[in-house]
Amino acid sequence: MTTDTEALVRRAYHLAEGDVLDVQGFIDLFAEDGVFNGIGGVSGQESYRGEQLGDVVVFMGKFLPDVHRELHRVNVLGDVVAIELSIRGTFLGPFETPAGVIQPTGAKVDFPTADFWYLRNGKVEVFDCHIAFTTLFAQLGILPDYASAVAASAPER
């Protein structure tokens, strides 16, 4: 049985699919003071509000034009929906990082994500998206430069 809460969250995923990308429809699912927290991203945690709520949908649509979210487990507890999923797609667009843009390689990606949706009065109040960026980076062939990090953290003698 699908609840209204679950149906709203499934609608949000549908609107963010590569073959749909209805940014305004996605934004409209949020409460006026709703927030989308991207956790573990390339620059740490980022929060989006208002018209910015669609920024991640646009980013993903450019980065992975065929983006698809495969929902593995959906758990509903009142107005909270917790989902274990995979984000899948083909790296055909630019990947913007704080150091610059990584050009597309055509790599297929399939990385785990955990999403937590908190609803109030039939609208999204908070959406916390936890992406396994280490897995994504490995699939893109852009693993961290550990040697530079170790050298930079070496104590002075």
Identity of the amino acid at 149: A
How far is C-alpha 55 from the geometric centre of its chain's CA atoms? Answer: 10
According to the model, what pLDDT value does residue 96 have? 81
DSSP string, 71-83: EEEEEEETTEEEE
Closest CA to 111 of 135, 78, 142: 135
Does the pLDDT of residue 43 top 70, yes or no?
Answer: no
Burial class (CB in 10 A: 0-12, 13-18, 19+), 36: buried
Closest CA to 49 of 115, 157, 126: 126
What is the per-residue pLDDT across 114-143, written as a single tens digit (0 to 9) for each?
A: 999 999 999 999 999 999 988 998 998 887
pLDDT confidence of 157, banded at 50, 70, 90?
low
Mean pLDDT confidence for 17-36: 97
Mean pLDDT confidence for 146-151: 81
Contact (Cβ atoms closer than 8 angstroms) between residue 88 and residue 79: no
Model confidence, pTM: 0.88
Q: What is the dihedral of CA 10, 12, 18, 19, to 10 degrees?
A: 70
Listed in sequence order, the DSSP H helices in the chain are: 4-15, 23-28, 55-63, 133-140, 146-153
According to the model, what pLDDT value does residue 93 have? 93
What is the per-residue pLDDT across 63-120, written as a single tens digit (0 to 9) for each?
A: 999 999 999 999 999 999 999 999 999 999 998 877 889 899 999 999 999 999 999 9
Does the pLDDT of residue 4 top 80, yes or no?
Answer: yes
Does the pLDDT of residue 31 top 90, yes or no?
Answer: yes
How far is C-alpha 119 from the geometric centre of its chain's CA atoms? Answer: 18
Count CB neighbours of 29 within 10 A. 19
pLDDT confidence of 40, banded at 50, 70, 90?
low
pLDDT confidence of 42, banded at 50, 70, 90?
low
DSSP string, 11-23: HHHHHTSTTT--H
Residue 96's SS3 state is strand
